C-alpha cells in the first residue's frame, strides 16, 4: 500500500480566481469539514506537497508561477483543478488575457467543477486524486482523466451546475 495516500499534503495556489473557490478550499480545513482527519495538511511549501490545488484560470502572468510550483513538487504528485475557471476557464474562457484551464499549462489529474466548488466536492476531488497518487506510486498510471462524481458535483451550486458538469464531461471525452 502506498503511504502517500494516507498523508497527502496540499499546496494551494490561486491562479486568477475571484477567491470564491479559495474560501471554499480553506473552509475544508475548518472544524465543519476538517480534512486533517484524512491526514491532509495545507502546506505553503511545494517541496513538501503531494497535491497541487489550483483555483482560477490561467493568464499570461501566472504561467511561470504555476509551472515552477509544479516542477518543485517531488514525485509522486497530483494536480487538482478546483472550480470551473481552473477546469476550463469558465466564464473567462474567451477573455483576451485568459489561456483557459490549468491543463493548458500543466497536466491535470482531477477536475472539480463548480462555481464556487463546494467543500464536499473539493474533498471528493482530493480523495479521487489520492487514488491517482496511489496508481502513480504503483507505476501503472495511464494519464487518464478522473472526474469528481457527478452526484457530488450536482449538489454544489444553484442552478448553473448543468453547464459546469457539461464542460467537465466534454473534457473527459477529449
Residue 3 binding another protein, by CB under 8 A: yes
Query: Per-residue DSSP letters for 101-133?
Result: SGGGTS--SEEE--TTPPHHHHHHHHHHHHHHH
Residue 141 binding another protein, by CB under 8 A: no
Q: How many residues does the chain have?
A: 174
Q: Among 19, 61, 74, 160, which residue sits at the site for another protein (rule: CB under 8 A)?
A: 74
Measured from the Cβ of residue 67, the count of other Cβ atoms closer than 10 Å reads: 12
Residue 7 binding another protein, by CB under 8 A: yes
Q: How far apart are CA 32 and CA 134, in angstroms?
A: 27
> Shortest distance, CB of residue 111 to another protein, whole angstroms?
25
Q: Which is nearer to another protein, 83 or 134 (CB)?
A: 134
Nine-digit cell string for 9: 499534503
Binding-residue total with another protein (CB under 8 A): 23
Q: How far apart are CA 125 and CA 148, in angstroms?
A: 5
Task: State residue 103 phi and psi, 5-degree precision.
Answer: -70, -5
Residue 97 binding another protein, by CB under 8 A: no
Stretch that binds another protein, among 14-22, 47-55, 97-105, 114-122 (CB under 8 A): 47-55
Range 24-43, binding another protein (CB under 8 A): 31, 34, 36-39, 41-43
For another protein, the binding residues (CB under 8 A) are: 2-4, 6-7, 31, 34, 36-39, 41-45, 47-48, 50, 74-76, 137
Amino acid at each position: 500500500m502506498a503511504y502517500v495516500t494516507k498523508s497527502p499534503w496540499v499546496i494551494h495556489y490561486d491562479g486568477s480566481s475571484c477567491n470564491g473557490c479559495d474560501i471554499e478550499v480553506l473552509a475544508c480545513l475548518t472544524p465543519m469539514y476538517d480534512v486533517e482527519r484524512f491526514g491532509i495538511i495545507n502546506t505553503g511549501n511545494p517541496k513538501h506537497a503531494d497535491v497541487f490545488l489550483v483555483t482560477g484560470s490561467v493568464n499570461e502572468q501566472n504561467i511561470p508561477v504555476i509551472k515552477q510550483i509544479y516542477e518543485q513538487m517531488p514525485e509522486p504528485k497530483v494536480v487538482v483543478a478546483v472550480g470551473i475557471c481552473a477546469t476550463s476557464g469558465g466564464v473567462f474562457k474567451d477573455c483576451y488575457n485568459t489561456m483557459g484551464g490549468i491543463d493548458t499549462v500543466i497536466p491535470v489529474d482531477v477536475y472539480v467543477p463548480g462555481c464556487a466548488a463546494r467543500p464536499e466536492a473539493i474533498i471528493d476531488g482530493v480523495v479521487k486524486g489520492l487514488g491517482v497518487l496511489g496508481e502513480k506510486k504503483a507505476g501503472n498510471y495511464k494519464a487518464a482523466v478522473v472526474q469528481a462524481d457527478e452526484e457530488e458535483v450536482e449538489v454544489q451550486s444553484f442552478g448553473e451546475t448543468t453547464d459546469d458538469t457539461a464542460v467537465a464531461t466534454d473534457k473527459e471525452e477529449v
